[in-house]
């Protein structure tokens, strides 16, 4: 075949254009597009939230369809995390929902506790209680323990104003201001054993 330089470029250009068109409109591409699953957040209502796990306070977005949480991810507009979540924060979605390992269906997390669980001293059984009962009981026992063990002075007569029968352990779900209020409350009772578990 006798091909001039101009003819060569015409031929290769036409071949490239045909290939590109086939790539865009061809059957293979149509099949690939058909295979793309629908976004699970399509049509969802988005609500901002704050991670429940630690005092860093990363922002998230909850996507809800028909009252059901379908997705939870980092909020790219949040100034603290800018869309990123640590491994624990990324798993918040599974507090409420889990995927069934056999069917793949989204289901309510069967292990999620939504009611107060109480185990009496010496008992091996958990009882379900309501919040009113739990709050009353905690207040009553703290008051009794504090009143029974409060020391204004030690054995040498030095002022101590303390209660060593109660310990206070903070949790990572508390933010800085809540920790401040909790430790102030504990110190007001005379509690000296104050500790905190922060973050993961």
CA distance 92 to 39: 20
- Binding mask 91-130 vs ligand SF4 (x if CB under 6 A, - otherwise)? ----------------------------------------
* Cβ at position 107, least distance to ligand SF4 in Å: 24
CB nearer to ligand SF4: pick between 89 and 190: 89
> What is the number of the residue whose Cβ is closest to ligand SF4?
89
Return the bridge partners of 97, or none: 108
CA distance 181 to 170: 11
The residue from 61, 62, 72, 85 that contacts ligand SF4 (CB under 6 A) is 85
Question: What residues numbered 20-79 form the site for ligand SF4, per CB under 6 A?
Answer: 51, 53-54, 56-58
For the record, the structure tokens of 139 come out as 């207040």
Query: What DSSP assignment string belongs to 80-125?
Result: TTTT---HHHHTTHHHHEEE-TTT--EEE-TT---SEEE--TT---
CB nearer to ligand SF4: pick between 77 and 130: 77
- 88 in contact with ligand SF4 (CB under 6 A): yes
């Amino acid at each position: 075949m006798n091909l001039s330089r101009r003819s060569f470029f015409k031929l290769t250009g036409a071949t490239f254009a045909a290939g590109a068109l086939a790539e865009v409109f061809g059957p293979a591409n149509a099949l690939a597009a058909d295979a793309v699953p629908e976004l699970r957040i399509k049509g969802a209502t988005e609500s901002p939230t704050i991670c429940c796990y630690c005092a860093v306070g990363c922002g998230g977005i909850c996507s809800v369809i028909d009252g059901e949480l379908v997705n939870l991810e980092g909020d790219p507009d949040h100034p603290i995390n800018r869309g990123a979540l640590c491994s624990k924060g990324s798993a918040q979605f599974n507090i409420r929902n889990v995927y069934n390992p056999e069917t793949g269906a989204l289901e309510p997390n069967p292990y999620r506790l939504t009611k107060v669980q109480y185990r009496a001293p010496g008992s091996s059984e958990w009882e379900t209680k309501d919040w009113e009962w739990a709050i009353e009981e905690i207040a009553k026992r703290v008051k009794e323990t504090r009143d029974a063990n409060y020391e204004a002075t030690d054995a040498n007569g030095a002022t101590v104003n303390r209660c060593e029968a109660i310990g206070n352990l903070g949790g990572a779900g508390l933010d800085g201001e809540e920790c401040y209020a909790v430790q102030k409350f504990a110190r007001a009772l005379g509690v000296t054993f104050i500790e905190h578990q922060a973050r993961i």
